[in-house]
Amino acid sequence: MRVASLFCGCGGLDMGFVKAGYDIVWSNDFDKYAVQTYNLNFNHPAVCGDINKIDLNDIPEHDVLIGGFPCQPFSMMGKEQGFSDHRGTLFFKVMEIINNQRERGHQPRIVVLENVRNLMTHDKGRTFAVMKQELEKLEYHVFPANLNSADYGVPQTRNRVFLVCLMDDIKYIFPAPERNEKKVQDILEQNVKDKYFLSERILKTIMSNGTGGYYAKSEIDLPIARPLTATMAKMHRACQDNYVTQEKGVRRLTPRECARLQGFPETFKIEVSDAQAYKQFGNAVTVNVSYAIAKSILEQVENE
């Protein structure tokens, strides 16, 4: 099936669909560094640019529309402004794209959207209710679920909401969790460069449990990683980011280790700065989860 991908980033959601046998015919992101990484790793290059400024008639016909639309408006880490934040309105850009395809006679049969777990409860559930209503107006049956990456073969706790929307009258069932015995220690690189190790001075800050009225226990060497964040390059405290111990001392994760925690293969090329790589993998959809969903959609749609 032909896929168009919105907000593709470095390609985590796309890679899962490609692995399941789908064909990416168009993709887009506004981050030039993410597009640089994407284009190194996919046969069909992504269009770099603001989706609000792209002519929607340039988006080719597709069977499946996928996208992890910006999560900051709904995230507990942000200000939770929802649709009052201009980034939140990008959901309605997705609706506009579907309507454009509909008017041209080839509405996508399947839509898969990803966002933070807080999307379901934001504004006492009213935000999700609006989204569901808009999708149903376009004749989709909407199936939401919160999936944890740790349940799909990677040692990272990462809860995300996925919306699978089908025009076919099928009761979609999300893929069941898989047994995962892999630990963070299993994906670590050896002989890591000195720049990833922490100095004694910064280690004291990293390991502090908080200041003022904020307290959270800082731990390192966790077997299942905390959620990777887009701001890992800033090195937050160990109650938020992931740190491990090796012969030379305590260090942060390398970009390749972050890629592994997100399910990217060893062949995935990383040719941007560490700061950009951390941002890309912190924003990415876990490939394993994407693949499980893409595969289950094929199986259930084809069975019907």
Question: Which SS3 state, helix, strand or coil, does residue 156 take?
Answer: strand
Q: At residue 185, does pLDDT exceed 80?
A: yes
pTM of the predicted structure, to 2 decimals: 0.92
Instruction: For the chain, report the end-to-end CA distance as a whole number of angstroms.
Output: 16
> Sheet of 23-29: strands edge to edge?
47-48, 23-29, 2-6, 64-67, 110-116, 159-166, 141-148
The beta strand positions in the chain, using DSSP E, are 2-6, 23-29, 47-48, 64-67, 110-116, 141-148, 159-166, 243-246, 249-252
The residue ranges of every structural domain in the chain are 2-176+286-303, 184-265+271-278
Q: At residue 108, does pLDDT exceed 60?
A: yes
pLDDT at 179: 81
**Local structure of residue 138 (DSSP, 8 states):** T
Mean pLDDT of all residues in 267-275 = 98
**Local structure of residue 89 (DSSP, 8 states):** T
pLDDT at 124: 84
Mean of per-residue pLDDT scores for the chain: 92
Q: Taking a C-beta distance cutoff of 8 angstroms, is the pair 82, 74 a contact?
A: yes
Q: Taking a C-beta distance cutoff of 8 angstroms, is the pair 64, 58 a contact?
A: no
Fold that domain 2-176+286-303 belongs to in CATH: Rossmann fold (3.40.50)
Nearest to 63 by CA among 30, 112, 103: 112
Min mean pLDDT across 40-44, 84-88, 201-205, 264-268 is at: 84-88
Mean pLDDT of all residues in 251-260 = 98
Query: For the segment 51-71, what is each residue's pLDDT rounded down to a tens digit?
Result: 999 999 999 999 999 999 875
Beta-carbon count within 10 A of 130 CB: 15
pLDDT at 123: 78
Q: At residue 78, does pLDDT exceed 60?
A: no
Q: At residue 76, does pLDDT exceed 50?
A: no
**Does 2-176+286-303 match 184-265+271-278 in CATH topology?**
no
Mean pLDDT of all residues in 143-162 = 97
Q: Taking a C-beta distance cutoff of 8 angstroms, is the pair 6, 65 a contact?
A: yes
CA–CA distance, 94 with 193 (Å, rounded to integer): 42
CA–CA distance, 67 with 49 (Å, rounded to integer): 15
Q: What is the CATH number of domain 184-265+271-278?
A: 3.90.120.10
Query: For the segment 115-145, what is each residue's pLDDT rounded down to a tens digit?
Result: 989 888 877 888 899 999 999 999 999 999 9
Q: How is residue 8 written in tokens?
A: 């593709």
Confidence of residue 79 (pLDDT cuts 50, 70, 90): low
pLDDT at 178: 87
Task: Return the ∠ at Cα 34 (arms to 30 and 36), rounded to 5°.
Answer: 105
pLDDT at 86: 45
Q: Taking a C-beta distance cutoff of 8 angstroms, is the pair 77, 122 a contact?
A: no
Q: At residue 274, does pLDDT exceed 70?
A: yes
Question: Which SS3 state, helix, strand or coil, does residue 288 take?
Answer: helix
Mean pLDDT of all residues in 278-289 = 98
CA–CA distance, 75 with 20 (Å, rounded to integer): 29
Nearest to 252 by CA among 272, 292, 282: 282
Active-site residue set: 71
Q: Scan for tokens 């499980």, then name that residue.
A: 292
DSSP 211-252: STT-------S-SSBPPP-TTGGG---TTTS-EEEETTEEEE
Mean pLDDT of all residues in 225-243 = 96
Q: Taking a C-beta distance cutoff of 8 angstroms, is the pair 38, 92 a contact?
A: no
Question: Which SS3 state, helix, strand or coil, does residue 35 take?
Answer: helix
Question: Which SS3 state, helix, strand or coil, does residue 91 take?
Answer: helix
